[in-house]
Amino acid sequence: MTSAARWDRRTVVKAVGAGALAAIGGPLAHVEAGEAKKANGNIKQSICRWCYGEIPLEKLAKEAKRIGYRSIELVTPAEFPTVKEHGLTCAMLTGACTIGDCFNRKENHGKLVKAMREHIEFAAANNLPNVICFSGNRRGMSDEEGLANCAAGLKQIVGFAEEKNVTVCMELLNSKVDHKDYMCDRTPWGVELVKQVGSPRFKLLYDIYHMQIMEGDVIRTIQDNKDYIAHYHTGGNPGRHEIDETQELYYPAIVKAILDTGYNGYLGQEFIPARDPLASLAQGFRICNI
């Protein structure tokens, strides 16, 4: 190799950016977090609380702020003041039902409507954008019946969500590995539900890890269904661990595709760390700081 063909560290960093180097690994992957934070930063990043439950919330909030995160999500209304104290928001407030037992059962609708209204009210009062919900498990119910039941229940709250400018988001989860029998396990089913509910304040939470397991073709799916998605979650596949070179998804390209749709919401880091949690969160931030 001639001297003209060689690139030193400074040249490479200038050409491709610290965030990309951190994402691809290799000898230059030790670029400091401080350098990465000076990258474009077009995606607002959030941390999903449950993945880091062993870290006290106050410490997690402090470290999140230091790394560059803007939100800690999936916290309860009672937990939110701790997050707020550190200058962070909550991009996705916990909802009022469990993953396995939610809107696809008509008998749940009465209590769900009441509880979801309370969560929407809290979100609006604290300028929080989203509240999560789930479909529930099939337990022998057809997808068609579950779709109709979910639409009927959600129609009872979306008017209130519209008044409060809060979006209710149903999460897409895999039923192959983690959540056996879960109904909202495919993007087309979720999109059809959004269409039937017919409100700009009901959309999908597209979990990249879960949909990689169920469908693959993540970038094309995001591009084709951007109008039905209000929030995104990460996670390395297989294993839902770090989102680096140890897994099959390439997050820099996925984040770029999300941004190219015009998305201006949050990306929730929802991987379960196999290594030091705070170091992995800093790494994940750099990888997605496109």
- 40 — pLDDT class (breaks 50, 70, 90): low
Contact between residue 187 and residue 151 where contact means Cβ atoms under 8 Å apart: no
Across the strands, what pairs with 268? 46, 233
Domains of the chain: 40-288 (3.20.20.150)
Q: Which residue has the higher pLDDT, 194 or 11?
A: 194
- Summarize the confidence of residues 99-105 as an average pLDDT: 97
Count Cβ neighbours within 10 Å for each residue of 198-228 and write b for 16 or more, e otherwise. Answer: ebebbbbbbbbbbbbbbbeebeebbeebeeb
Q: Which residue has the higher pLDDT, 41 or 174?
A: 174
Read off the tokens for 113. Answer: 């409507």
The string of pLDDT tens digits covering residues 216-271 is 999 999 999 999 999 999 999 999 999 999 999 999 999 999 999 999 999 999 99
Listing DSSP states for 192-250 in one string gives HHHHHH--TTEEEEEEHHHHHHHT--HHHHHHHTGGGEEEEE--BTTTTB-SSTTSS--
- 52 — pLDDT class (breaks 50, 70, 90): very high
State CA 64 to chain mean position distance: 16
Residue 96: predicted pLDDT = 86
Could you give the C-alpha distances from 111 to 115, 141, 168, 234, 279, in angstroms and in order? 6, 21, 16, 31, 41
Supply the pTM of this predicted model: 0.87
Residue 69: predicted pLDDT = 98
Read off the tokens for 130. Answer: 């989203």
Residue 42: predicted pLDDT = 87
82 three-state secondary structure: helix
13 pLDDT exceeds 80?
no
Residue 8: predicted pLDDT = 40
24 pLDDT exceeds 60?
no
Q: What percent of the chain has pLDDT over 70?
A: 86
Distance CA 201, CA 167 (A): 4
- Among the listed residues 217, 144, 211, 225, the one whose alpha carbon sits nearest the alpha carbon of residue 175: 211
The string of pLDDT tens digits covering residues 194-214 is 999 999 999 999 999 999 999
φ, ψ (nearest 5 deg) of residue 178 = -100, -35
The string of pLDDT tens digits covering residues 118-161 is 999 999 999 999 999 999 999 999 999 999 999 999 999 999 99
21 three-state secondary structure: helix
Cα-Cα-Cα-Cα torsion 186, 272, 249, 170, nearest 10 degrees, comes to 20
State CA 79 to chain mean position distance: 19
Residue 41: predicted pLDDT = 62
Angle at 263 (CA atoms; ends 258, 269), nearest 5 degrees:
60
